[in-house]
Structure 1
Amino acid sequence: MKDRLWKIYENWEIELDKNEWYFSDCYDELTENLSSSDAYDAIPAVLDVLLHVKDTYLVNETLDFLLIIYNIADTTEVHPILLAEWHEINRKLEQMGDSFSVSAWDELRQMLRIT
């Protein structure tokens, strides 16, 4: 999952100029036929990408994809890797986040019932 997500992020600006639904289309392809357990197992890979992207737009996109993955996983269980990386993710959002990423992060926290 991680390699496929990084591949999507290559030349994303060019692809987005050509297709405004680029990320949505790619995410649909990535998650097609993904079981709930496979989605849950993919969470660490998505978190790894989130912690390593260097662009605010991609932070936002990765948070969006994390929400998609959690919805497919159909659980409110907080993945242990998410717990382990919680402070690092917060630090990343403080450095690179914007109002969109804060909103997406809040949505995930509400979904997972984290206060």
Structure 2
Amino acid sequence: MHHTIAVILEDWVEKINEDEFYLSTAFDKLIQEKTSFEAFDFIPYMLDAILETNDDFVASQLIFYMNCLYGKADTTEIHPILSQNQEKLEQHIATLNGHNAIREYREFKRDLRLT
């Protein structure tokens, strides 16, 4: 997992208990600091983080912010790493206990017009 994402997710439950907007503030700052090119290049790191988590809520948040990276990148071009790992991602999301990640992934696919 990319160091920046790992730092954001470290003790995330406690941080959310102190500030309910912690994740949005942290990820919004991360995305804002990137150029469109850097945002596109960061997509594989977000994908890796999704594949490494077994928490449905965290996965849903990471999928949401991966979609935000696409927004910042201002492209609907599918990152080659995402293309190569789409089936693996979908299988992983299906194994999570909950429906948040599945719902968020459906929205992500709709936004990017993925099949």
> Same fold judged by TM-score > 0.5?
yes
Shift of 1:102: 1.8
Contact 1:63 1:101 in 2 (8 A): yes
- Alignment-derived partner of residue 66 in structure 1: 66
Structure 2: runs of 5 or more not aligned: none
Letter in 2 for 1:62: L
Unaligned runs of 5+ in 1: none
CA–CA separation in structure 2 for the residues paired with 1:68 and 1:2: 17
Cα drift, residue 33 of structure 1: 2.9
TM-score normalised by the chain length of structure 1? 0.92
The DSSP-based 3-state class of the residue aligned with 1:89 is helix
Distance 1:90 1:62 in 2: 14
Whole-Å separation in 2 of the counterparts to 1:79 and 1:36: 13
After the TM superposition, which of the residue ranges 36-45 and 105-114 deviates more from structure 2?
Answer: 105-114
Q: CA RMSD in A?
A: 1.4
Name the structure 1 match of 2:19: 19
Distance 1:44 1:61, change over 3 A: same
SS at match of 2:88: helix
Q: Distance in 1 between matches of 2:109 and 2:54?
A: 23
Q: CA deviation at 1:77?
A: 0.5
User: Deviation of residue 55 (structure 1)?
Assistant: 1.3
Contact 2:46–2:66 under 8 Å retained in 1: yes
Matches of 1:97 and 1:2, distance apart in 2: 24
Point out the more displaced range, 9-18 or 103-112.
103-112
Distance in 2, matches of 1:6 and 1:79, equals 22
Does the Cα contact within 8 Å between 1:49 and 1:62 map onto a contact in 2? Answer: yes
Q: Which amino acid aligns with 1:26?
A: A
Residue identity over aligned pairs, in percent, reads 28
Q: How many residues align?
A: 115
- Per the alignment, residue 89 of structure 1 pairs with 89
**What is the alpha-carbon distance in structure 1 between the residues aligned to residue 37 and residue 21 of structure 2?**
27
